[in-house]
Amino acid sequence: MSATQNQRYEDEITLIDLAATIVKRRRVFYAVFLSCILVGIAYAFVTENTYQYTSLIQVAEKGADEFLEPPATTIATLESRWLPEREVAYLSENGENFPFTTSFANPENTGLIRLVSESTTKNAEHVETVHRYLVEQVQQRHNALLEREKRSLESQMRSIDQSIDVLKSGQDSGQVLAEAFDRKTKLESDLQALKAAEMLVLARQGAEKTGPARILIITLATIMALIGGVFSAFFAEFLALVRSQVAASNEANE
């Protein structure tokens, strides 16, 4: 029992053994550690800063808090039709996919649609081109809906005008005539309340940088360098022990 315990204790690795291994293989540790640090610093200073570019659209309205098309429906069309169409066109023109991502949102209880893209300043012009295209698609769609709604209201008003002319020549039509005038007034109010879609902001660059900060990249590189250096030192020691044992085995066989 005592011999078994002694064998187990001899096989255990203490902190002193670990420290001794790192000291013994310090050149490997330093080489890997410094290499990782230099790579991290180079990456931190070579990587371009990214910013958020925001565009805002006010959807077409037909009254207070009433929209010709729900913002959610417009966003669905942006995501499933207009943005993919622009992505295909960009791929055809440039031979590569968009170098940025674009998302859409509708702030709660508003008729606003927000377009947000994260990109480097180098691609800012491409972001503006894409945002302008998407905004124009929304405006064209909503203006078409606006014209259709306008024609419908004007048609109803002409019909009421004809009814009013008929009622004026009749007798005992005072109440009906008053109701017709009320309907016409309501339609005129609805017509005046129509409001076209409007671009409020186009590809405005945010003040704050996005993406990891340089200090964070360097900190992570330092941690990875430490882990990589320790692992490399132990791996180098492991290889040395394997070579030593193979050489000893070969000598014994001879």
Contact 130, 101 (CB under 8 A): no
Say how many domains are in the chain. 1
Which residue range(s) make up the domain with 172? 50-210
Distances (CA, A) of 162 to 136, 166, 186: 39, 6, 16
138, part of any domain: yes
Classify residue 40: in a domain, yes or no. no
The label of the residue with tokens 């940025």 reads 100
Q: Which residue spans within the chain are E strands per DSSP?
A: 50-58, 61-63, 66-67, 101-105, 112-120, 198-210
In a domain, 97, yes or no: yes
Residue 241 placed within a domain = no
Distances (CA, A) of 121 to 49, 52, 141, 179: 8, 10, 31, 61
User: Any idea which residue has 């503006």 for tokens?
Assistant: 128
Instruction: Check residue 134 and give its pLDDT.
Output: 95
pLDDT at res. 103? 93
Is residue 220 one of the residues assigned to a domain? no
Instruction: State how far the Cα of 95 lies from the Cα of 115, in Å rounded to an integer.
Output: 24
Q: By C-alpha distance, which of 148, 151, 140, 150 is closest to 77?
A: 140
Is residue 228 situated within a structural domain?
no
Residue 116 lies in a domain: yes
pLDDT tens for the chain, 254 residues: list them: 455 544 444 556 677 777 787 788 888 888 988 998 888 888 877 777 788 999 999 999 987 778 989 999 999 999 999 999 999 988 888 888 888 889 999 998 889 999 999 988 888 899 999 999 999 999 999 999 999 999 988 888 888 888 877 777 665 566 777 787 888 888 888 888 889 999 999 999 987 777 666 787 788 888 998 898 888 888 888 888 888 887 777 777 66
Structure tokens at 236: 């180098």
Is residue 33 situated within a structural domain? Answer: no
